[in-house]
Structure 1
Amino acid sequence: MRCVSPMALIFMDKKHTRTPVESTMAYSHEFWENYSLFLLKQNVKKGVVSWYVLRTKQYIAEFPDEHIRTHTPHHVEQFLNKVGRESRLSPWQFGQVVDAIRILFSLALKLPWARDFDWEYWRESAKPLEVDHATVARDYSNVLDGLATLDGEERCSHELYQRYQPAIAEVVRAIRLKNYSIRTEQTYQLWVSRFFYFHKPDNVRDLNGQHVKHYLEYLALKRHVSVSTQKQALNALAFLFNQVWQKPLDDLDEFIGAKRQRKLPVVLSREEVRRVFQQLKGTHHLMAGLLYGGGLRLMECVTLRVLDVDFDYNQLHIRNAKGGKDRVVPLPERFKEALKEQLALVARLHQIDLRNGFGEVYLPEALSQKYQNAARELRWQYVFPASAVSVDPRTGLVRRHHLHETSLQKIIRRAVKQAGITKHATTHTFRHSFATHLLESGYDIRTVQELLGHSDVSTTMIYTHVLNTPGISVRSPADMI
């Protein structure tokens, strides 16, 4: 005989099974008091139990003509879609709604389908994108926002902020004319600002190579930055002098460089990848599978659109990636069915959004002007959409963006820990593992370079160093005794 939980029995009480009509009015005050005690036993904090009860009542009231035990995942999706369209609801409140319904079906009613429902995706993917997020910032942000609040010693006064505004805006204009990525724009903007605030010149055009040398040495000697960070600062300042001011930066002489540390990328073994995958489920499992199976960068994964998926050729099209390059990567056969189910979810979600006056997705300004109706077409929707719509703080438009990348990062960190892996593995580790495992399988370096989208094969060569590490190829003398 199937075991039924005490809470499920309460929902099946004779008083409640005389009619299929389920509403909050059918349950007595005593019932909800008992349910509150049940929530406390599920480690819901006492201060929010009343909110969990309220969320449960709201869900039940949404389907007054259907018995709660006949509900399916589509009922939950329908309700969460409706709640997700309430743009005034904060992400933590939406997460609370998801958690309340999860407890109802998974722990109280213990319905079989609730074990496999992707609660984690719905709870974690409601976070909206920030105004300065890389996928939307260029079209809406004031290029000088945030420059007055630099960290540490380089915090500037309002007077300096006003003084250097025109010069910094000039740098941003030059970057955009060259169509550099938004990440590069933000990085160069930051380093040029710090450079100005460090020297505090009355006229920035008075700065020269010796000022650059002094600043780079300050970064190495006082701030103890890494080689890559110092090089990043030099690239930004070289762009300022050479491209913006047309004033060649060629008189640096020798400057003290940051201490170079030779670091190899963190790579998971095939067994470790399997162990991490075992800790993941649903949408996050699929996303991790694409990161590893196609060698995708984090943002390439979260910004995939429906039109980028090609099931016939088992390919994913990565568009406008790092360096403005497009490329094609393999679609792992083992994740095809899961990806088809995800696209079916996207299609259902999009249809519901359209019926309720939403359904618009973000497109870069050039595309939105060229294809004015594209933003509401299914093919332009994100493969991994946020579970809630959000209001663009600049335009006031309500859109459904892609899920925030930090949700996947958080889940991967937790999965690595649960898998008992002590390596410092992140989402990018899957890309490193993809390249290393291809080389281990005999694929040539040029093929791997193309799949990763590297401009220079020397960048890809780092993975051959991983394979040729003496610790791997040399047999320990302890094993020869």
Structure 2
Amino acid sequence: MAKSELLEKVRREIRRRNYSFKTEQAYTQWVVRFVKFHGTVHPLKLTDQDVEQFLNHLANEQNVAAGTQNQALAALVFLYKEVLGKEELTLHHLERAKKPKRLPVVLSSAEASALLKKLDGLALLICELLYGSGLRISECLRLRVQDIDFDMEQIWVRSGKGQKDRVALLPQTCIPKLKEQINKVDTLHKKDLSKGHGRALLPKALARKYQDEQIQLRWQYLFPSKRISKDPRSGLKHRYHISDRFVQRRLKRAAKKAGLNKKITCHTLRHSFATHLLQNGYDIRTVQELLGHKNLKTTMIYTHVINKGGNYIKSPVDIL
């Protein structure tokens, strides 16, 4: 099997499982790096020790972050198990990259308010959803019109992290703005249809079974791009959602205008959502479910943030 054939098979298996395009790009890049590291020898001719050698090289010589090494490991496990048919990799001497124990950056309620006041338009609505619903930026930008349930006051998050669906909060503040945004999407969609466009990218099974669904408003992205582009997988010309860079840039400017000296990203708003829910007395299991965390330990990090903040402990200097 040639290198190009191997990569094509990797892509085919990834797409069959409906993994994201970013995952496809990351996995194929790791496969290429792994093959090049071993002098372009085909992975079938390499041993588990060769896999270990590559991963240990990333940790020891390249000094990559723990998450980067984990992604490389996931890519190689996928390659051997799903593509090459090897059930298990034996990695007894794998040296894990050290993951520093860092607490997430969290805004106070006053800081969150000051930040949002420096935003406007689409960036404001998106950031209100990130802070008000606890969405990841990728989950927010992938929302379709039909994912906003006004009657039940909830947001359907489809194929979130780990390919899981969940229900998120729909903040009351956002409802009028979301209805206005959907009207704008409707107007734009009608213009696209009049020009022979307007088809949405659907999951493969739906696209085959219900071909007319592609042109329905409900499948359009809630935050559409200004340009029509070509999907790298299917070749379909459609209107994708806006880039996360659009939000990050405006958030960075807003933080500067608000005089906030913390390093603020879109994920900071998600961290703040979880922390403020716990501070307001909500059950940690509820917060776990709203965030879509698989493991409760992941959610527990926010209890440490609260405890570090001095909410329960009186400093000795304040008693003097």
TM-score w.r.t. length of structure 1: 0.62
CA distance in 2, matches of 1:173, 1:387: 30
Tell me which of 231, 253, 257 is aligned to 2:92: 253
Shift of 1:471: 5.5
Give the aligned partner of residue 458 of structure 1: 297
Give the aligned partner of residue 276 of structure 1: 115
Percent sequence identity is 47
Give the conservation status (yes or no) of the 8 Å contact 2:77–2:89.
no
Give the aligned partner of residue 241 of structure 2: 402
Tell me which of 412, 424, 440 is aligned to 2:263: 424
Tell me which of 161, 167, 180 is aligned to 1:328: 167
Matched, 1:240 2:79: yes
Give the aligned partner of residue 177 of structure 2: 338
Matches for 1:354-365 after TM superposition, within 5 Å? 354-365=193-204
Give the aligned partner of residue 384 of structure 1: 223
* Paired AA for residue 283 in structure 2: D
Matched, 1:445 2:284: yes
CA distance in 2, matches of 1:364, 1:251: 35
Aligned residue pair count = 320
Matched, 1:293 2:129: no
CA distance in 2, matches of 1:245, 1:200: 19
CA distance in 2, matches of 1:207, 1:289: 50
CA distance in 2, matches of 1:179, 1:392: 15
Distance verdict in 2 for CA 1:399–1:239, change over 3 Å: closer
CA distance in 2, matches of 1:451, 1:211: 41
Cα deviation per residue 1:28-64 (whole Å; 9 max; x = unaligned)?
A: xxxxxxxxxxxxxxxxxxxxxxxxxxxxxxxxxxxxx
Give the conservation status (yes or no) of the 8 Å contact 1:209–1:249.
no
In our comparison, the structure showing a higher alpha carbon Rg is 1
Give the conservation status (yes or no) of the 8 Å contact 1:290–1:296.
yes
Matches for 1:22-421 after TM superposition, within 5 Å? 163-390=2-229, 398-421=237-260
Shift of 1:182: 3.5
Cα deviation per residue 1:97-118 (whole Å; 9 max; x = unaligned)?
A: xxxxxxxxxxxxxxxxxxxxxx
What is the RMSD of the two structures over their aligned residues, measured on CA atoms?
Answer: 2.4
Cα deviation per residue 1:334-354 (whole Å; 9 max; x = unaligned)?
A: 111111111122222223333
Distance verdict in 2 for CA 1:395–1:253, change over 3 Å: closer
Shift of 1:298: 0.8
Shift of 1:405: 2.2
Give the conservation status (yes or no) of the 8 Å contact 1:412–1:426.
yes
Give the conservation status (yes or no) of the 8 Å contact 2:35–2:42.
no
TM-score w.r.t. length of structure 2: 0.90
Matches for 1:3-18 after TM superposition, within 5 Å? none
CA distance in 2, matches of 1:352, 1:248: 51
Structure 2, gaps ≥5 residues long? none
Give the conservation status (yes or no) of the 8 Å contact 1:181–1:324.
no
Give the conservation status (yes or no) of the 8 Å contact 2:35–2:41.
no
* Paired AA for residue 476 in structure 1: S
* Paired AA for residue 178 in structure 2: L
Shift of 1:168: 2.9
Shift of 1:363: 2.5
CA distance in 2, matches of 1:257, 1:286: 40
CA distance in 1, matches of 2:115, 2:154: 24
Cα deviation per residue 1:388-415 (whole Å; 9 max; x = unaligned)?
A: 4345578775432222222112111111
SS across alignment from 1:191: helix
> Which piece of structure 1 moves more, 195-204 or 162-171?
162-171
Structure 1, gaps ≥5 residues long? 1-161
CA distance in 2, matches of 1:384, 1:307: 13
